[in-house]
């Protein structure tokens, strides 16, 4: 008993601390769970991806190849949000990536494999060099991104990724929370130069400085987000 009670409590606390991104909020409409977001493998566990080379890095799908029921139209230049169940309860950066659906596929059928992704958002901490480092997404129950005005119109996968760094001081300790929404961008100018596209898995290594990261001691004085630079219109 001395051992099992604390272990049980620890396990429960750990599960509560994890999270998923089950709903979209766009054009003032909140979707049902997993209606516009591909059903994620961590639907019930809420657990993270910890192997950045695993196939789960693409969209963390529970049943790969099964699209979500709906694709959401969103105007370029407007915001698209994912709900968080229940909140971003770990410290770390938030990223959003887009992948244009190739011709012959739809947002519901495209698997997101290959060098197809470009980064449209990243954030970093404040308080570096102090004992109170904070992250913009901390505690949020909804995370949102502006779809760049300059992307081409058409169907995309929109990949949200939150990297929890509280255990990232050893290889494989970073926790990645990932989901993909199916969107249809309207009114994009199409002038964006995306630069080199990246693949998931592939874009990150377990030893990237933003993945293998000691958050607590010695106090970090810089943070380098993994992956490519954010595209600019």
Ligand X SMILES: *[C@@H]1O[C@H](CO)[C@@H](O)[C@H](O)[C@H]1NC(C)=O
- Using CB under 5 A, list all residues that contact Cu ion: 17-18
Confirm or reject binding of residue 83 to ligand X (CB under 6 A): no
* Residue 41 site contact among ligand X, Cu ion, none (CB < 5 to 8 Å, cut-off depends on kind): none
Q: Closest separation between CB of residue 72 and ligand X, Å?
A: 8
Confirm or reject binding of residue 186 to ligand X (CB under 6 A): yes
Residues 1-30 that bind ligand X (CB under 6 A): none
* Residue 71 site contact among Cu ion, ligand X, none (CB < 5 to 8 Å, cut-off depends on kind): ligand X
Q: Closest separation between CB of residue 206 and Cu ion, Å?
A: 19
DSSP the chain: -TTHHHHHHHHHHHHHH--B---EEETTEEPPTTTSBPPBTTTTT-PPB--TTSGGGTT-BSSTT---S--EEEETTSEEEEE-BS---S---EEEEEEEPPTT--TTT----SS-EEEEEE---B-TTSS--B-TTTT-SEEEEEPPTTSEEEEEEEEEEEEE-TTTTSTT--EEEEEEEEEEEEEEE------S-B-TTTS--TT-TTTS---SSSPP-----SSSPBP--
Confirm or reject binding of residue 219 to ligand X (CB under 6 A): no
Residue 41 tokens, joined = 């493998």
**Among the listed residues 71, 122, 137, 194, the single contact to ligand X using CB under 6 A:** 71
Q: Closest separation between CB of residue 152 and ligand X, Å?
A: 12
* Residue 43 site contact among ligand X, Cu ion, none (CB < 5 to 8 Å, cut-off depends on kind): none
CB atoms within 10 A of CB 28: 5
Residues 132-161 that bind ligand X (CB under 6 A): 155
Q: Closest separation between CB of residue 38 and ligand X, Å?
A: 15
Q: Judged by CB, which is closer to Cu ion: 78, or 142?
A: 142
Q: Judged by CB, which is closer to Cu ion: 17, or 55?
A: 17
Confirm or reject binding of residue 73 to ligand X (CB under 6 A): yes
Binding site for ligand X (CB under 6 A): 71, 73, 155, 184, 186
């Amino acid at each position: 008993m001395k051992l099992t009670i604390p272990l049980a409590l620890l396990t429960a606390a750990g599960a509560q601390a994890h999270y998923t991104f089950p709903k979209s909020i766009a054009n003032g409409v909140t979707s049902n769970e997993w209606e516009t977001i591909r059903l994620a493998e961590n639907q019930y566990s809420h657990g993270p991806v910890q192997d950045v080379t695993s196939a789960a890095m693409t969209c963390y799908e529970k049943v790969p190849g099964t699209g979500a029921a709906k694709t959401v139209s969103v105007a370029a230049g407007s915001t698209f949000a994912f709900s968080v169940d229940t909140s971003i309860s770990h410290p770390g950066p938030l990223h959003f990536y887009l992948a244009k659906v190739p011709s012959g596929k739809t947002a519901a059928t495209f698997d997101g494999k290959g060098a197809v992704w470009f980064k449209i958002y990243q954030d970093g901490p404040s308080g570096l060099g102090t004992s109170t480092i904070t992250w913009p997404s901390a505690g949020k129950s909804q995370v949102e991104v502006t779809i760049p005005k300059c992307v081409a119109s058409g169907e995309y996968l929109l990949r949200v990724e939150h990297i929890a760094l509280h255990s990232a001081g050893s290889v494989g300790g970073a926790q990645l929370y990932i989901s993909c929404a199916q969107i249809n961008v309207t009114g994009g100018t199409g002038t964006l130069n995306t630069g080199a596209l990246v693949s998931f898995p592939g874009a990150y290594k377990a030893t990237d400085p933003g993945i293998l990261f000691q958050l607590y001691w010695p106090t970090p004085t810089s943070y380098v987000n993994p992956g490519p630079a954010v595209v600019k219109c």
